[in-house]
Every structure is written in C-alpha cells, then in structure tokens.
Amino acid sequence: MAENKMSSTVHPVGSLDVLSQHEVELLCDVKERDLHRLLRLCSLAVLSVGSEADDCKTILEQHKNFDIQVHQTDRGVKLELVNAPAKAFVDDDMITGIQEHLFSVLRDLVYSHNQVTGGNLFDLNTTEGLTNACFHLLRNAGVLRPGKNLNLVTCWGGHAISRVEYDYTKEVGYQLGLRGMDVCTGCGPGAMKGPMKGAAVAHAKQRIFDSRYIGISEPGIIAAEAPNPIVNKLVIMPDIEKRLEAFVRLAHAIIIFPGGAGTAEELLYLLGILLHPKNKELPFPLILTGPESSRAYLESLMAFVKNTLGDSAVERCHLVCGDPVEVSLYVRDSIAEVREFRKRYSDAYFFNWRLHIPYDLQIPFNPTHESMAKLNLTRSQPVHELASHLRRAFSGIVAGNIKAEGVRAIEEFGPFQLTGEASIMDELDVLLKAFVDQKRMKIGSEQYTPCYELTS
C-alpha cells in the first residue's frame, strides 16, 4: 500500500527564524548540490519518524519525489515541502516537534557549511581547532547550559534491540530522571529512545520542567536513527567524529546498553580516549548495563575488550546487569567525583575542555575498501591507538550496513577486507558472529549478509 504524501509550507518553530539572502541562495544554488542534498536527506529522515527502514538508501527510494526548498520572506524564512510523508502531519498541520527538528536541521547544516567545513573560522588541522568547532556547533544549537548542574548522562546502545532490553533502558532512564538527570542519546529509536521516555515520566513526577533530551546525529546516519518524539534539542554535527566528540564533551557520565556494531564503535572510541596517558587521572564514569537476559552479550563485549586491549581497558568500565537502581546510584555518586575534579581544576561544568582527544580520533575516517584494508589491527602500537583502529573497523561495518555511500561501495566492490594479528582477528570474528546471530547488525532483514571479510 502506497504511503500518503503531502505538500506544505512550513514556518520556523524553535531556534531558527532568520537566514540571510546569501544563506538562502546557497541552499538553492545548483552549484551547492551537496548542501541541498544533505538538507533533503536530513529533512526526509526527520519527517519519516517511525519508519521501519534503517538505511538512507531505502528511505530515499520510498520517497523519490520528495523535495524541499528554502524561501526568504519579509518575515523571515519558510520551507516548501513537496510530497512529504503524511505521518508528519495532523489535520494538515505539521506536528510541532517535527517542525522544530526540521528547522534544527536547517540551522545546523547552514552553520556547518558557512562556519566549519566551508569557512576559515577554525583550524581543522589541529586538535584545538577541531574542539573549538565542536564547541561552537553545540553553542549555536543552544545545548550548552552554563548555569546547569552536572546532570547530563549520555546513553549509547542499539536502535534494533529486544522489547525486554528496551523496557530496561526505560527503567534506567526513569531511575536517572528521579535523581534529576537529563539524557543525551543518538536521538533514534531503541536504546536511544527508552532512557528519554523513562526520564520524561520521572521528571514529570518530580515536577522538573526544564529537562533536556538532547539528540545528536550526523547526515550519514540520521536516516537509520531519525529523531524520536521525545528529543527536545536536536543537533546535526557535520560528521561522525564531531558527533562522538560532542557526546563525550557534553557528558558527565556515559551508559552503554546492548547494541551492535555502532555501539561497539562508540565504546572503542571512548576507550581510545580514556586509555590515553593524558587522561589517566581524569574521572569519567562509564557503565555497561542491560537486563539479566543480556548478560551474555555484555560479558562477550567485555571479554573482547579484555582480550584485545587488556586489563587497563576493563578497569575503565563498570558492568551492571539487571539493576537500574544500582546504575543510577553509581552515576549519581560518580558524577559527584566529576564535579569535585572540575572544581579543583576550574574546568567548565557544561563542556569537558580538559579531556584530551587524540587528533586521529577527531579527523573524519572515510571507510573505503582501501582505508579499511590499511587499518593496523595489531598490538605493535600503544593500546589507545589499537582501540582507535578497532573503532575505525566498526565504523566501516556500520557504513557498509546502513550508510548510503557505504552500501553502494559494498554493492560495487564487495565486502571490506580486514586484516590483522591472528588473535585479534579471532576475537573480532567471535564478537561479530555473535552480533549476527543475535540479529544486532541490521533490522528489516531475515538474513544478514556481512559487509566485511576477516583475514589474518
């Protein structure tokens, strides 16, 4: 059955009311097709909330006739939508939350194009310049709250998890919310929606009315993780590396729920930071948790970390199974330590400037067949660098699973080839096979065809 489509003119709701004539021209200029393509892709993802598809290609194919145009008026800016998904509307009016998200997309894409990727405001060849760009993107989006206490918990996890796991993430979010915690996630369904939903109920009970449910995405993955309805602050970062940096710079603690390759990528990214000698003394709560039924999954992930990165990596992780109250109490007590540390060093509460992120974790990694084949998956390097290379391997797998360019590359050239030290490749093989068996790699498909091949 064909999905109903609608055409409409939409005015701003939220954080963007005005664009300059130059900015509107950029969005309409045929020479700036990449910018318009990103606007169309991200807007379509926002309008397609609730779609069963989890990759850009499928969503674009389902809405080939969708288009969006930006118009400057005497009163500001408006968007003209053609053949938009009807589910984004109620009685011919766009749902307010979706309308807010639509203009958040426009705000962030314009700012990124003019000030970050297309401007010379930041030196993107240095660690300091990249961190400053991340800060300014977040500040422009209005998510930095200098007067707010340390209470922001970043939650990572899969968008295709079981009902039992989803309910567990809601209960954890509820317990966090009762203790006054706000939630930041990748903004999509599953483990990204559950904690927000639970926290929203708890905040209502506690009469907390200024709650933050921050969703951070990037153009390459937003179709798979479209903003869920609870997100009230949406940020679109230019690439996955700036997205990951935004998560860890904002967070006062990070919780990792069950997931797939993307969740493993996030864990390895964070371990690549925490294992760096410059961050040895810096407190950063990291909790892996899930229902008791997910213990085997969580323990297999920890076994992979131990057998590839060693005991120092395991020591940075705190594992809790089946106890949302314990998770929330650990977060509360650990954040108290973070607060004291930041007081001692006069570091900002709202942005973790003191955290050292190595340059190779900041620069965008383009997962091509060539770059994936060149990854150094051996122990002949410092442990934090091995974590960084393992993170890139999972980044490529995510791209090959759900990102439009990655899927096209696999279709054209076949699976990515990953080569490394035999013992590391064995551990990688065990973990990835477990992900496939547990159907954690991709939704909407009975049989998963791997986008990678492992050799040693």
At 322, which CATH number? 3.40.50.450
Task: At 264, give phi and psi (nearest 5°).
Answer: -65, -40
Are residues 337 and 388 located together in one domain of the fold? no
Count of beta carbons in the 10 Å neighbourhood of residue 212: 20
Please report the pLDDT score of residue 57 as a whole number: 62
Domain membership of residue 134 (yes or no) is: no
Please indicate, yes or no, whether residues 229 and 289 belong to a single structural domain of this protein.
yes
Q: Are both 334 and 373 inside the same structural domain? A: no
- Cβ neighbours around 322 below 10 Å, total: 14
Q: Are residues 382 and 293 in the same domain?
A: no
8 A C-beta contact, residue 259 and residue 440: yes
Q: 299 vs 19, which has greater pLDDT?
A: 299
DSSP helix/strand/coil, 25: helix
Residue 359 has pLDDT above 60, yes or no: yes
Q: What is the pLDDT of residues 191-232, one digit of tens each?
A: 999 999 999 999 999 999 999 999 999 988 887 778 899 999
Residue bearing tokens 């607060």: 339
Tokens representing residue 221 in the block: 């993955």
**Quick one: tokens of 404?**
């439009």
Say whether both 173 and 302 belong to one domain: yes
DSSP structure string for 169-235: HHHHHHHHHHTT-EEEE-SSSGGGTHHHHHHHHHHHHTT--S--EEEEE-TTTTTTTPPPTT-SEEE
Q: Please answer whether residues 70 and 27 qualify as being in contact, where contact means their C-beta atoms are separated by less than 8 angstroms.
A: yes
353 belongs to a structural domain: no
In a domain, 133, yes or no: no
Pair of tokens at residue 350: 């709202």
Same domain, 234 and 116: no
Specify whether 370 is located in the same domain as 339. Answer: no
pLDDT at 61: 73
- Specify which residues 236 forms β-bridges with: 217
pLDDT recorded at residue 50:
61
Residues 201 and 281 in one domain: yes
Q: Chain-wide mean pLDDT for the chain?
A: 88
3-class DSSP assignment, residue 451: coil
Lowest mean pLDDT among 243-257, 366-380, 390-404: 390-404
Q: Which of 284, 309, 344 is the last residue of a domain?
A: 344
Q: Is residue 147 part of a domain?
A: no
pLDDT digits (tens, 9 = 90+) for 66-114: 888 888 776 667 888 988 888 889 988 889 999 999 989 988 998 898 8
- 95: CATH: 3.30.1850.10
Q: Does residue 406 share a domain with residue 338?
A: no
Q: What is the span of the domain harbouring residue 263?
A: 154-344
**Predicted structure pTM score:** 0.90
Look at residue 1 in the predicted model and tell me its pLDDT. Answer: 40
In a shared domain, residues 216 and 301: yes
- The answer as to whether 127 is a domain residue is no
**Is residue 335 situated within a structural domain?**
yes
Q: Are residues 266 and 332 in the same domain?
A: yes
Tokens representing residue 417 in the block: 């080839």
Q: How many domains does the structure of the chain reveal?
A: 3
Asked whether residue 53 is domain-assigned, the answer is yes
Q: Do 338 and 372 have their domain in common?
A: no
Q: How confident is the model at residue 153 (pLDDT cuts 50, 70, 90)?
A: very high
| 140 within a domain of the structure (yes/no) | no
For 385-402, write each residue's pLDDT tens digit: 999 999 999 999 888 887
Euclidean distance between the first and the last CA atom of the chain, given in angstroms as a whole number: 48
Please say if the pLDDT value at position 137 is more than 90: yes
Q: What is the pLDDT of residue 31?
A: 56
